[in-house]
Structure 1
Amino acid sequence: MAVSAADYLAGHVPGRKDDLPENTSGTVRLDLRDDGSTDHWYLTIRDQRVEVTRSAAAAELVVAGDRESFDRLAAGRAHIFSALLRNDIQAQGNLRLLMTLRRLFPGPPDARHPRQAALELTRGAGAWGGDRR
């Protein structure tokens, strides 16, 4: 099932986010362009909480792109920095908040934590010729 950026922003982003640094605060506006119109999503980040509203108000960081690019981010099929480097999205303002924003979007559906991948690699060492000391 496809995930839209609008559904993701409304349903998964608001609330407490324990993985956000406690001292991070700021405002981010996401401008999703589609067929000549723009939807604005306004995120207020403070005390590991994210509030999401629909507003075109000024923000410390503005990230703009087409709706398809944001849909890929929301589905975990794209990474925010890769999208920025490919010019799928553009960012203006406090780029420090871009680091925070990347934590609000999911990773790839088949991604594993690096420690889990290393553990699996270690357990599979026997299949590569035994003990690797």
Structure 2
Amino acid sequence: MGASAEHLARRVAGHHPELPESTSGTLRFDLREGARTEHWYLTIDHQDVRVDRSAEEAELVVRADREVFDRLAEGRLHPAAALLRNDLTVKGNLRLLLTLRRLFPGPPGARHPRETACGLAGPR
């Protein structure tokens, strides 16, 4: 199982308090590997995410090679950057594309801005 499939199956499904409570919608990922396409379907209902294997229609459909999805899932590629470089294509509600940044990890070694600011300010 590639990084993207493992991330979707094991880490994306469930409750995500980092998502705004008003976030809801459906996303379908079409992962291409050679002549084969694997479909993953996410249902976001407020802060809960359900992950299924389905090719159903969705509000946002994201298509890319598996290698691109693996880089997204590992935090080595930002979804907007991938879109601008034509590494992935999207059809539908682009607002949901930004949700991926909260579901996928940040770059390796990245720290939350608050942690960095607190470290610069020193102990109180």
Q: TM-score, normalised by structure 1?
A: 0.86
CA distance in structure 1 between the partners assigned to 2:7 and 2:117 by the alignment: 30
Counterparts in 2 of 1:1-133, with a 5 A limit?
4-123=3-122
Instruction: Please give the per-residue CA displacement for 1:92-118, whole angstroms capped at 9, x wherever unaligned.
Output: 100111121221111012001112222
Instruction: Please give the per-residue CA displacement for 1:108-130, whole angstroms capped at 9, x wherever unaligned.
Output: 1200111222233344xxxxxxx
User: In 1, are the aligned partners of 2:79 and 2:98 still within 8 Å (CA)?
Assistant: no
CA distance in structure 2 between the partners assigned to 1:101 and 1:112 by the alignment: 18
Structure 1 residue 82, shift from structure 2 partner: 1.2
Unaligned runs of 5+ in 1: 124-133
Structure 1 residue 77, shift from structure 2 partner: 1.0
CA distance in structure 2 between the partners assigned to 1:105 and 1:4 by the alignment: 11
CA distance in structure 1 between the partners assigned to 2:115 and 2:6 by the alignment: 30
CA distance in structure 2 between the partners assigned to 1:48 and 1:115 by the alignment: 22
Instruction: Please give the per-residue CA displacement for 1:38-59, whole angstroms capped at 9, x wherever unaligned.
Output: 1000000002100000001100
Instruction: Supply the RMSD in Å over aligned alpha carbons.
Output: 1.2
Unaligned runs of 5+ in 2: none
Identity %: 61
Structure 1 residue 21, shift from structure 2 partner: 1.1
SS in 2 for 1:18: coil
Q: TM-score, normalised by structure 2?
A: 0.92
